[in-house]
């Protein structure tokens, strides 16, 4: 038992799946932000959740060979990144080992993992920035990031992983809110107007969307505010108001109104153009997504007469890109809006051999009488389920490409398939530099 607010001394032996340093003292486990493998530190114990203690570094004695001076000044308080103080080489080593360990520990498979597909420049990559708006202690309006596990806003000056064009826009928005007396929303008092600002930038077109998440529709002073914002930031091509008046941690509400421009932006992936609206799911790293999709399609070795299932398809991106290499593609997606966006994306790209289904992937594959030659599956963090995996096995699908953002559920599902399938390749792709998130692609071929 450790006392809260006490200081303990320990050595970090491992990193957790959230990227925190793991220190063991007798039977107690401590997770510590910003502490890396081999480092030795005095740690202040801050709180305990279930059996784990959470602490922060008080004094560092021994430093990791991968520790660097971070570019970001707020990385130790902001909840966004875990690895700003770790060299990119160190981040890549962590991601490789996490995938390796997941397969060993969960799937009991000692498999070869290919080199992580890295970014050339791992900064300023995100195409979607979303920040809460509030006050600092002097009552100035600020934007920033929530401190981890709190709703305290840490003001951001430069965010080193967002697109650089967003900085000026965030600054102009808070400046204009002060000028036009448009108040940030106060979660405790449940009053005020602007809750969050979301900015989506197109990588391939000069298009930027600003989404003002507000507490009330048509807030007072809106017109003047918008007109001045467009004048000061002419890069903005569309502004959408999203109304969220609920008491909730979910950022976006259901209702939307376009205040300026088309209400959406476009971007391209692997030569196809996609429409992105305020609430669409869209891959956030425009450079790495092309490498991810290319690797996935290479692994499947598609032939012109094949029928492909794109399961958990989002707005249809991978399936549409694969469609040139297949006879037919069926894309299955549970979310209605994403499914509808998929249909529009096919039409806008003049693609007619992709069919969209709005259903649960497991229910669909069990109902369908189509015999699929290949399957791409890209489920959410919790992974797939036995109903879906059994259907793959029973239908003797020849080739599978499994894309996952969670190495642990991936290892569990691949282990389930591995009696019938040979693993042909495992490649981690770094979609989220400076954070502990890992994306992995696995190729599986049916055993003879």
Residues forming the active site: 405
Kindly give, in sequence order, each residue whose CB lies less than 8 Å from that of residue 150, ignoring residues fewer than 6 positions away: none
CB 340, min distance to ligand SAH, A: 12
Q: In the numeric block, which tokens belong to residue 120? A: 């050339």
Place of tokens 């077109």: 205
Based on CB atoms, which residue is closest to ligand SAH, 236 or 357?
357
Q: Is 342 in the site for ligand SAH (CB under 6 A)?
A: no
Q: Give the distance from CA 388 to its chain's centroid.
A: 24
Cβ closer to ligand SAH: 241 or 333?
333
Task: Tell whether residue 317 is a contact of ligand SAH (CB under 6 A).
Answer: yes
Q: How far is the CB of 70 from ligand SAH (least distance, A)?
A: 30
Binding residues for ligand SAH, rule CB under 6 A, total 17
Please, which residue, 206 or 273, has the CB nearer to ligand SAH?
273
Q: Is 286 an interacting residue with respect to ligand SAH (CB under 6 A)?
A: no
Q: Which residue is nearest to ligand SAH (CB)?
A: 314
Q: Which of 10, 122, 314, 383: binder of ligand SAH (CB under 6 A)?
A: 314
Cα separation, 112 vs 94, in Å, equals 16
For residue 144, list its beta bridge partners: 155
Per-residue b or e along 222-257, where b marks 16 or more CB atoms closer than 10 Å to that residue's CB:
beebbeebbeebeebbbbbbbbbeeeeeebbbeebe
Q: Which residues pair with 186 in a beta bridge?
A: 191
**Residue 404 in contact with ligand SAH, rule: CB under 6 A:** no
Gyration radius of the chain's alpha carbons: 23
113-121, 130-138, 186-194, 330-338 -> range binding ligand SAH (CB under 6 A): 330-338
What are the residues whose beta carbons fall under 8 Å from the beta carbon of 210, sequence distance 6 or more?
Answer: 169, 173, 197, 198, 199, 229, 236, 238, 239, 240
Q: What is the largest CA-CA distance in the chain?
A: 70
287 near ligand SAH, judged by CB under 6 A: no
Q: Which is nearer to ligand SAH, 133 or 318 (CB)?
A: 318
CB of 318 to ligand SAH, least distance (A): 5
Binding residues for ligand SAH, rule: CB under 6 A, are: 281, 283, 312-314, 317-318, 332-335, 338, 360-361, 378-380
């Amino acid at each position: 038992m450790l006392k809260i607010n006490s200081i303990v001394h320990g050595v970090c032996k491992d990193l957790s799946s959230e990227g925190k340093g793991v220190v063991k003292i007798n039977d107690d486990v401590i997770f510590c932000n910003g502490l890396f493998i081999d480092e030795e530190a005095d740690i202040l114990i801050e709180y305990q959740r279930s059996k784990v203690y959470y602490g922060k570094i008080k004094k560092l004695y021994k430093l990791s060979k991968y520790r660097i001076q971070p570019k970001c000044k707020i990385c130790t308080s902001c909840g966004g990144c875990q690895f700003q103080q770790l060299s990119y080489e160190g981040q890549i080593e962590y991601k490789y080992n996490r995938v390796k360990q997941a397969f060993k520990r969960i799937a009991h498979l000692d498999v070869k993992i290919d080199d992580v597909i890295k970014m050339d420049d791992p900064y300023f990559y995100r195409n979607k920035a979303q920040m809460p708006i509030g006050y600092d202690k002097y009552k100035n309006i600020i934007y920033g990031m929530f401190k981890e596990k709190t709703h305290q806003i840490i003001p951001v000056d430069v965010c080193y992983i967002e697109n650089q064009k967003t900085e000026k826009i965030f600054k102009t928005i808070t400046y204009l809110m002060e000028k036009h007396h448009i108040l940030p929303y106060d979660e405790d008092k449940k009053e005020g107007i602007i809750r969050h600002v979301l900015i989506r930038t197109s990588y391939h077109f000069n298009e930027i969307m600003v989404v003002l998440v507000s507490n009330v529709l048509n807030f007072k002073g809106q017109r003047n505010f918008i007109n001045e914002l467009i004048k000061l930031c002419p890069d903005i091509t569309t502004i959408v108001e999203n109304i969220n008046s609920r008491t909730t941690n979910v950022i976006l509400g259901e209702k939307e109104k376009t205040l300026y421009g088309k209400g959406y932006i476009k971007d391209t992936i692997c030569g196809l153009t996609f429409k992105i609206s305020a609430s669409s799911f869209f891959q956030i790293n425009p450079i790495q997504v092309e490498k991810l999709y290319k690797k996935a399609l290479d692994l499947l070795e598609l032939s012109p007469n094949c029928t492909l299932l794109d399961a958990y398809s989002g707005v249809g991106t991978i399936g549409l890109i694969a469609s040139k290499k297949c006879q037919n593609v069926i894309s299955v997606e549970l979310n209605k809006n994403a499914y509808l966006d998929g249909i529009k994306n096919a039409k806008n790209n003049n693609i007619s051999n992709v069919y969209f289904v709005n259903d649960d992937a497991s229910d669909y594959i069990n109902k369908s009488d189509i015999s699929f030659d290949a399957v791409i599956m890209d489920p959410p963090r919790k992974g797939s389920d036995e109903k879906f995996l059994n259907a793959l096995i029973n239908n003797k699908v020849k080739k599978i490409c499994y894309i996952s953002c969670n190495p642990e559920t991936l290892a569990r599902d691949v282990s389930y398939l591995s009696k019938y399938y040979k693993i042909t390749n495992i490649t981690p792709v770094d979609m989220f530099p400076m954070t502990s998130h890992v994306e992995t692609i696995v190729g599986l071929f049916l055993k003879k």
